[in-house]
């Protein structure tokens, strides 16, 4: 039956057969993952090279605007200073500095199109014939090997267009397509045609000059154009930088990149983010390649290979999207792959020839990022498999009896876990080695959802683990990416009041006849719209005096807050619910302890040498130097208990 499903029955759609083959062979899945990671790493490499190439190329206009002895000492410092300023402004977010981008881009496009149109009219108005693909064929036929090798440089004419579509977090797909077709593309065509018209009439250049854009600019306009070009280079670099942020965030969400701090800079657009660690890493690498090469030719070769690799990987993956996601014919996908893939392979081979002339940089960067991402993904998968295999079931808990087989001490134990069901292995590890726990246990799972704000009535999901007498609760707290997490005291008060409301509401349901079998394991959670108000008063540690007793300022240390739930008078609360609420109040007064699991990965004995190196050294190094969960920063250190556990994988 399984074989029939894979090979396909008569009349089965090709989509099902392709999907079945990918699901059956794990080797194909791993190759597909590596191929996607290769494209991702090249995008990150492009995020390093594009700002360096754009800024340094713009600054290179000083070569024609200054004396030869002066520009050599000014180009590099100016380029480095602009790059530092560019990355230093990233933390403000595009929505704050973006109001400058549109005028700069519009002025730049108008400038290059006007200069191109001037050169076409003034030097060679017949250059429009170059738009015909016939001349491309004649060029390759005449130059042969030399023309093929020049494709690596010709590729730079389209670099930057892929960064526009990487910036979809700021603009919609339709708006970018309209802008590119109606404004950007015509302006670029006029600019390149103008340069071609100028060069067709000026074959002899001084050998020390670089034949580029600034040669075709009228001398009286070079300084204004230089300023506009530098500003446009900054704007163009912004797109690929934010695109790098976005793709790293997606990789981190898919457990393919170590944890990083993600700052959302907009309350309305989810895609506008800022990652401090990646920002400064990109800045250092940009400065390194700029200072190391000091030449636009080698930087352009490196960028060309990175861009064409991203395009080739995108084309291959797009053919799978056509079949698997769009449910189109497999022949359409093959035709798409052959048509665009053949062109891109031609450019890719031409760029790869220049490996020793700068193209080795994106290969080296991609290799480093690929190793980091593969090691992190492998270690995360192994850790998840260990968690699933060693997850404690509720049945194990039921077999311990109401006392859990341990001593119950006063207070609330708040156990942070990533699991939304079941009991984490860290709990059984703790109970096995230290047979004492709090009278109330709360398994807390904090989740970040892709919306700006979560309404307070939708923030808490509360459920019960096991029978009532166990006093075990599961709470899932959801935060939006723009929500500010409350401090420990406010969060503690809100958490307890929501658990109290859950206890009261479930008690009313049982009283009204909606009774569930609490002896059976259940992970059902209930949304709590409004918690029971919690009224606090100051009181002595061992006294039951009046709440209006005067407080001695010299004796604040032994004081603590007494809690009392303000239950509506209309609510009918039976004795069992009141007893559970009273026990929760007593535990709240005794204090709350935050219990965090701290896992260490270690390869099993008998594992291969490569696995021991990857798990014991590389993964552990990345884990120790990556960001932990965001909620850990708000936990008071005085009430925190870390439970260490070694994962044998």
For 634, residues 6+ apart whose C-beta sits below 8 A from its C-beta are 485, 486, 487, 488, 491
What per-residue confidence (pLDDT) applies to 546?
39
What span, in angstroms and rounded, lies between the C-alpha atoms of 216 and 199? 8
Higher pLDDT, 268 or 618: 618
Q: What's the whole-number mean pLDDT along residues 623-633?
A: 71
Q: What's the whole-number mean pLDDT along residues 557-568?
A: 54
Residue 600 structure tokens: 């260490």
Residue 244 has pLDDT above 70, yes or no: yes
For 376, residues 6+ apart whose C-beta sits below 8 A from its C-beta are 255, 256, 257, 258, 619, 622
DSSP for 620-634?
Answer: HHHHHTS---GGGGG
pLDDT averaged over the chain?
78
Residue 375 has pLDDT above 90, yes or no: yes
431 and 359 Cβ atoms separated by less than 8 Å: no
345 and 311 Cβ atoms separated by less than 8 Å: no
| Chain segment 129-173, per-residue pLDDT in tens | 888 888 888 888 888 888 888 887 777 777 766 655 555 556 677
What span, in angstroms and rounded, lies between the C-alpha atoms of 402 and 540? 32
What per-residue confidence (pLDDT) applies to 519?
47
| Chain segment 211-232, per-residue pLDDT in tens | 567 888 888 888 888 888 888 8
| Percent of residues, the chain, with pLDDT higher than 70 | 77
What span, in angstroms and rounded, lies between the C-alpha atoms of 404 and 170? 53
For 107, residues 6+ apart whose C-beta sits below 8 A from its C-beta are 228
Residue 383 has pLDDT above 70, yes or no: yes
pTM of the model: 0.77
**pLDDT category, 5, cuts 50, 70, 90?**
very low
What span, in angstroms and rounded, lies between the C-alpha atoms of 225 and 108? 8
| Percent of residues, the chain, with pLDDT higher than 90 | 13
How crowded is the C-beta side of 500, counted as CA atoms within 13 Å?
29
**pLDDT category, 372, cuts 50, 70, 90?**
very high
Residue 471 has pLDDT above 90, yes or no: no
Residue 508 structure tokens: 């009313």
Residue 256 has pLDDT above 50, yes or no: yes
């Amino acid at each position: 039956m399984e074989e029939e499903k894979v090979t396909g029955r008569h009349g089965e759609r090709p989509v099902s057969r392709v999907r079945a083959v990918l699901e059956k062979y794990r080797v194909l899945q791993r190759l597909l993952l590596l191929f996607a990671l290769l494209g991702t790493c090249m995008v990150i490499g492009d995020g390093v090279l594009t700002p360096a190439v754009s800024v340094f190329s713009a600054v290179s206009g000083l070569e024609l605007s200054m004396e030869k002895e002066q520009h050599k000492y000014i180009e590099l410092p100016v380029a480095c200073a602009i790059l530092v300023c560019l990355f230093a402004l990233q933390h403000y977010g595009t929505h704050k500095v973006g109001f400058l981008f549109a005028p700069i881009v519009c002025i730049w496009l108008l400038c290059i199109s006007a200069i191109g149109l001037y050169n076409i009219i003034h030097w060679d108005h017949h250059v429009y014939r170059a738009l015909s693909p016939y001349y491309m064929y004649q060029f390759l036929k005449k130059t042969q090997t030399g023309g093929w090798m020049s494709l690596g440089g010709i590729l730079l004419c389209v670099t930057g267009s892929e960064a526009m579509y990487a910036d979809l977090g700021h603009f919609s797909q339709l708006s970018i397509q309209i802008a590119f077709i109606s404004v950007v593309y015509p302006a670029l065509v006029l600019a390149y045609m103008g340069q071609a018209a100028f060069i067709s009439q000026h074959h002899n250049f001084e050998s020390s000059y670089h034949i580029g854009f600034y040669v075709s600019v009228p001398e009286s306009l070079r300084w204004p154009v230089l300023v506009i070009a530098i500003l446009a280079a900054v704007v163009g670099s912004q797109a690929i930088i934010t695109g790098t942020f976005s793709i790293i965030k997606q990789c981190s969400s898919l457990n393919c990149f170590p944890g990083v701090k993600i700052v959302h800079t907009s309350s309305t657009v989810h895609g506008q983010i800022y990652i401090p660690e990646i920002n400064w890493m990109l800045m250092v690498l940009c400065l390194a390649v700029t200072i190391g090469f000091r030449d636009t030719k080698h930087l352009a070769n490196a960028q060309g290979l990175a861009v064409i690799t991203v395009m080739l990987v995108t084309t291959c993956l797009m053919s799978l999207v056509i079949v698997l996601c769009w449910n189109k014919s497999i022949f359409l996908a093959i035709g798409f792959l052959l048509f665009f893939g053949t062109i891109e392979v031609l450019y890719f081979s031409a760029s790869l020839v220049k490996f020793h002339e700068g193209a080795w940089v994106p290969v080296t960067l991609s290799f480093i990022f690929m190793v980091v991402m593969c090691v992190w993904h492998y270690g995360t998968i192994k850790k998840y498999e260990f968690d699933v295999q060693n997850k404690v079931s509720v049945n194990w808990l039921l077999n311990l009896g109401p006392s859990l087989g341990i001593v119950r001490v006063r207070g609330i134990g708040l156990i942070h876990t990533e699991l939304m069901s079941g009991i984490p292995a860290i709990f059984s590890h703790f109970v096995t080695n230290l047979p004492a726990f709090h009278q109330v246990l709360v398994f807390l799972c904090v989740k970040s959802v892709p919306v700006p704000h979560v309404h307070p009535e939708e923030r808490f999901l509360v459920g019960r683990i096991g029978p009532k007498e166990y006093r075990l609760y599961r709470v899932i707290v959801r935060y939006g990416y723009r929500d500010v997490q409350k401090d420990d005291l406010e969060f503690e008060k809100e958490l307890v009041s929501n658990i109290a409301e859950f206890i009261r509401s479930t008690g009313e349901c049982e009283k009204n006849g909606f009774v569930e079998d609490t002896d059976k394991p259940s992970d059902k959670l209930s949304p709590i719209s409004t918690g029971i108000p919690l009224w606090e008063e100051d009181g002595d540690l061992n006294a039951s005096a009046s709440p209006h007793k005067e407080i001695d300022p010299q004796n604040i240390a032994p004081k603590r807050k007494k809690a009392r739930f303000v239950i509506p008078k209309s609510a009918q609360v039976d004795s069992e619910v009141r007893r559970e609420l009273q026990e929760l109040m007593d535990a709240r007064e005794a204090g709350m302890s935050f219990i965090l699991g701290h896992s260490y990965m270690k390869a099993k004995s008998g594992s291969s040498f490569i696995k021991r190196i990857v798990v014991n050294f590389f993964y552990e190094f990345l884990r120790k130097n990556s960001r932990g969960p965001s909620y850990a920063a708000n936990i008071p250190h005085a009430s925190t208990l870390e439970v260490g556990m070694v994962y044998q994988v």
